[in-house]
Amino acid sequence: MENLNLAQIQELIESSNIEELINIGEELELELAFNQVNDITNEHVYTWLLLCYLTKFELENIKYLAKRISPDQIKEKNISQLYQLSKLLWQKEYFNIPPFLASMDLDKPYDSLLNLFKDNYNKYIINLIQLNYSELPFDKVSKFLGLDLSTTKQKLEELEWEIDATGEFVKPKPIDSHLNNEIGIKEFESIAQLAISLQYN
């Protein structure tokens, strides 16, 4: 680890090498407790670990990590935004996540990881809707995806979801059985929370 520098980490970030970033980050967090590692700081490590855990929806790991971040570090620009995003996920505030993502302003090296999270989040929501609903209001789908009505319609056409004659309701295309195994247990555990969110918003 003593030969590692921030430029090398940024290359891994730009290539979205999630597993390697997590392994290095977890080792560096321990190393930095005792020694300085070139130009890498705790803030750098916490930022990329939060992003990596977010892309994998590992909310428990984020909770444990957040307890190790000092109050001053949580105020740091990148960490603060990622911490707030994590809280929205913990609290199942699905309607608030797309506008928050649109407002985020992370330092440039982290753009690729944030874009990966955005892509994964949209897939996550789409999968949950497909698993849990045979029909739901068009405007709620639009809110969940964070898209305007026109773009939502285009997206639903790409997904081959049916929009009824009134344009008010959407019938998601049933998810292929072989994809169920790719979704993962965390998504299945979130279905009930998504149902509650849809019902009361």
Which string of DSSP letters, residue by residue, matches 140-171? HHHHHHT--HHHHHHHHHHHT-EE-TTSSEEE
Would the pLDDT of 116 be above 60? yes
Which pLDDT belongs to residue 118? 92
Q: Are the C-beta atoms of residues 40 and 4 closer than 8 Å to each other?
A: yes
Confidence of residue 172 (pLDDT cuts 50, 70, 90): very high
d(CA 90, CA 75): 19
Which pLDDT belongs to residue 171? 94
Torsion angles phi and psi, residue 54, rounded to 5: -65, -40
Would the pLDDT of 189 be above 70? no
Would the pLDDT of 193 be above 80? no
d(CA 174, CA 176): 6
Would the pLDDT of 196 be above 70? no
d(CA 55, CA 16): 10
DSSP string, 51-120: HHHHHTT-HHHHHHHHHHS-HHHHTSHHHHHHHHHHHHHHTT-GGGHHHHHHH----GGGHHHHHHHHHH
CB atoms within 10 A of CB 160: 8
Which pLDDT belongs to residue 183? 47
Which pLDDT belongs to residue 198? 47
Q: Are the C-beta atoms of residues 41 and 61 closer than 8 Å to each other?
A: no
Confidence of residue 1 (pLDDT cuts 50, 70, 90): low
Which pLDDT belongs to residue 85? 95
Would the pLDDT of 200 be above 90? no
Would the pLDDT of 114 be above 90? yes
What is the tens place of the pLDDT at every residue in 71-80?
Answer: 999 999 999 9
Which pLDDT belongs to residue 71? 92
Which pLDDT belongs to residue 2? 59
Nearest to 172 by CA among 119, 134, 144: 134
Q: Are the C-beta atoms of residues 165 and 121 closer than 8 Å to each other?
A: no
By percentage, how much of the chain surpasses pLDDT 90?
45
- Which residues pair with residue 170 across a beta bridge? 136, 163
Would the pLDDT of 99 be above 90? yes
Q: pTM of the entire structure?
A: 0.80
Which pLDDT belongs to residue 144? 86
What is the tens place of the pLDDT at every residue in 30-56?
Answer: 888 888 877 888 899 999 999 999 999
